[in-house]
């Protein structure tokens, strides 16, 4: 992967964290406004954290209708690697690119803390380079991070190895401790924790690197 596009919605606030993480890994990065309708010149696309469109109605509910989302859909359909972090994950579920939904945290509090994640599947662009069972300390920073889906969806996710990251100590009530999941093909991944904020031991943890290094190592399917 040479060049990554980081989508900026009105209200995104982690686009520079994501861009800096990409630059740190030697990847060219470009911030793209949500009115963009063509992402075909990128090798990967990141939907960053924040509060797209103020999170009004529901997180991601309005962002899914931003013009860029048609381009994200086409990019994903073509096999391009797409990563949604935090609010980006919420946008991907609202857009139907990932199954299920994210609800308010069970404790009804905004959570901002390091969490320990367990890698549970390699079947995604984000976890292909990680080891199953590996524990990663990565921060969360969200109010609506409680993952939910129906029984049928959960069975399918588990059967296909689409649950890629779980919380060791579930902080928000997510179903089956799910912290991150992929689509069936593995090229679209969403997670509530922020790997782009875990790039340096000086800042608390470098455990996000193994995930983002996997992401940038992914190649665009033909």
- Which spans of this chain sit near other proteins (rule: CB under 8 A)? 57-58, 61, 65, 93-94, 99-101, 103-108, 146, 148-150, 173
Strand partners, 46: 6, 83
Closest CA to 35 of 65, 15, 12: 65
Closest CA to 46 of 67, 18, 16, 11: 18
CB nearer other proteins, residue 146 or residue 183: 146
Q: Which structure tokens are listed for 213?
A: 């290094």
Q: Name the active-site residue from 34, 53, 142, 194.
A: 194
Closest CA to 92 of 117, 120, 63, 58: 63
Q: Which residue has the tokens 């889906």?
A: 149
Q: Are 27 and 216 in contact (CB under 8 A)?
A: yes
CB of 106 to other proteins, least distance (A): 5
CB nearer other proteins, residue 13 or residue 153: 153
196 is known as an active-site residue:
yes
CB of 122 to other proteins, least distance (A): 27
CB of 142 to other proteins, least distance (A): 14
Q: Name the active-site residue from 34, 86, 142, 149.
A: 86
134 is known as an active-site residue:
no
41 is known as an active-site residue:
no
In which region does residue 92 sit, left (phi positive, over 0), alpha (psi from -120 to 50) or beta (all else)? alpha
CB of 82 to other proteins, least distance (A): 19
CB nearer other proteins, residue 115 or residue 172: 172
Residues identified as active-site: 86, 194, 196
């Amino acid at each position: 992967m040479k060049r990554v596009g980081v989508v900026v919605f009105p209200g995104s606030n982690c686009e520079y964290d994501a861009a800096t993480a990409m630059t740190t890994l030697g990847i060219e990065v470009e911030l793209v406004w949500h009115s963009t309708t063509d992402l075909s010149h990128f090798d990967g696309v990141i939907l960053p954290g924040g509060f797209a469109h103020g999170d009004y109605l529901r997180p991601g509910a309005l962002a899914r209708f931003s013009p860029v989302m048609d381009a994200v859909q086409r990019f994903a359909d073509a096999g391009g690697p797409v990563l949604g972090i935090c609010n980006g994950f919420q946008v991907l579920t609202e857009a139907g690119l990932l199954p299920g939904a994210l609800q308010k945290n069970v404790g009804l509090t905004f959570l901002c803390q390091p969490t320990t994640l367990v890698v549970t599947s390699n079947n995604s662009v984000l976890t292909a380079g990680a080891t199953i069972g590996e524990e990663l300390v990565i921060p969360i920073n969200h109010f609506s991070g409680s993952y939910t889906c129906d029984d049928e969806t959960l069975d399918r996710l588990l059967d296909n190895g689409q649950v890629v990251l779980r919380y060791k100590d579930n902080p928000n009530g997510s179903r089956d401790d799910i912290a991150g999941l992929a689509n069936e093909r593995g090229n679209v991944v969403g997670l509530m924790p922020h790997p782009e904020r875990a790039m340096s031991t000086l800042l608390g943890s470098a455990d996000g690197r193994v995930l983002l290094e996997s992401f940038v190592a992914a190649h665009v399917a033909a």
